[in-house]
Structure 1
Amino acid sequence: MALKRAVILPGNGAGNVEHCNWYGWVKKRINEISDMSCVLRNMPDPVTARESIWLPFMEKELKCDDETVIIGHSSGAAAAMRYAETHKVFALILVGAYTSDLGDENERESGYFNRPWEWEKIRSNVKYILQFGSTDDPFLPWDEQQEVANGLKADLHKYVDRGHFQNTTFPELINAVKKLKTNC
């Protein structure tokens, strides 16, 4: 297995993802890495981000496979984790990952949180797992982010001042992808 592709899974409700948060900036930088390509698409069902719609789209349209790093932000991180329960992927980079519906009806309707997480299956299907989280995230309690890190034995990059990672650039993520590329 070699790392050849990156797929960015946005958070729900992102609108045109090319112009939202750091997504378009990261896509451009990854496409500048030798022998790498990056896919960033507006997702179907972008508000509720239903698992039943997103996971087949990831497989059939985005072609997430064992040469792909899936970069998932927020709802995209939940989708990436559920996908990796049943599919081999090269790596996961989870940004603002969490484990429950947080008492929110829209999150509950997504379908990601209606059963236990299968941490061992995810770990067995993924070569590398990195996680970015911030203790000052206004949407996600730190204990849920830590639960993801513990369950996946992720390489956790913990911040205290990044909120929900909604900046327009994300150089640490590019460095993480370059490091993954070098290690393969």
Structure 2
Amino acid sequence: MMLVTKSAQLTPIVIICPGNGCTKIRESNWYGTLHRLLLKKSIPCVCENFPDPYRARREKWVPYIRSLVEQNSAADLGNVILVGHSSGAQASLRYAELYPSHGIVLVSATYSDLGDSGERASGYYPQNNGGEESNPYRFDEMKKNCKRWVQFHSDDDPFIPLYEAERICDGLKTGESEEYLYDYQMLPGRSHFFEFAPEILEAVESLCK
């Protein structure tokens, strides 16, 4: 794995965090395409296979993202942009509770596990136990650690209803100021964003400026 030099560290490092089920990340969905396009634009990008690809457990993925940051950041560990899709979006949210980032792009994020036991076992989602929520999202910590967010969702996502994405948006958009910006984009007809979306590339480029 190539270590980004200190001189190149002025440009944030982009780390692509995939959805679950991707055993060959660069051949899955649009991750390899985004990786190639960013490198072509001289934007450093890490696109590596994640451990535990099918369960995508929080206890595995969040530390792995941190390890990628540490291995590829020569100077400022906060000079990183996470691009998280589906389970990767959930891991990016939980990463932001713990560590600073220059920016985060969420693609097809959800608030809850939607009653799926496999998703529940991944450890990302809040649970309602007798009216009290356990494992809550710590949105205040996320906003403290990352000041630039872009979120994408589609109105025809077959897995994640629009209201789930809007709950994430509601948690992160509050308290916006000149220092804190949250951009929510609902792009109709994009399903679960299995195909490359130029808007994602544009969002990453805008965060690099």
| Residue of 57, 63, 69 corresponding to 2:81 | 69
1:113 equivalent to 2:125? Answer: yes
Q: Which runs of 5+ in 2 are unaligned?
A: 1-8, 127-134, 174-181
Corresponding residue of 1:135 = 155
The Cα offsets for residues 81-101 of structure 1, whole Å up to 9 and x where unpaired, read as 000001001110000011111
The within-5 A match list for 1:53-92 is 53-63=60-70, 65-92=77-104
1:171 equivalent to 2:198? Answer: yes
Point out which structure has higher relative CO (alpha carbons under 8 A, 6+ apart): 1
Q: Secondary structure at the match of 1:116?
A: coil
The Cα offsets for residues 35-81 of structure 1, whole Å up to 9 and x where unpaired, read as x2100111100001011111111112343831110000000000000
Q: TM-score, normalised by structure 2?
A: 0.82
Q: Secondary structure at the match of 2:105?
A: strand
State the superposition RMSD in angstroms: 1.5
Q: Which runs of 5+ in 1 are unaligned?
A: none
Q: TM-score, normalised by structure 1?
A: 0.93
Aligned pairs, how many? Answer: 180
Q: Secondary structure at the match of 2:147?
A: strand
| Residue of 13, 16, 22 corresponding to 2:21 | 13
| Residue of 142, 166, 169 corresponding to 1:122 | 142
Answer whether contact 2:150 2:184 (CA < 8 A) is retained: yes
Query: Amino acid of the residue matched to residue 40 of structure 2?
Result: E
Q: Secondary structure at the match of 2:124?
A: coil
Shift of 1:2: 4.8
Corresponding residue of 2:179 = none
Corresponding residue of 2:207 = 180
Report sequence identity in percent: 38
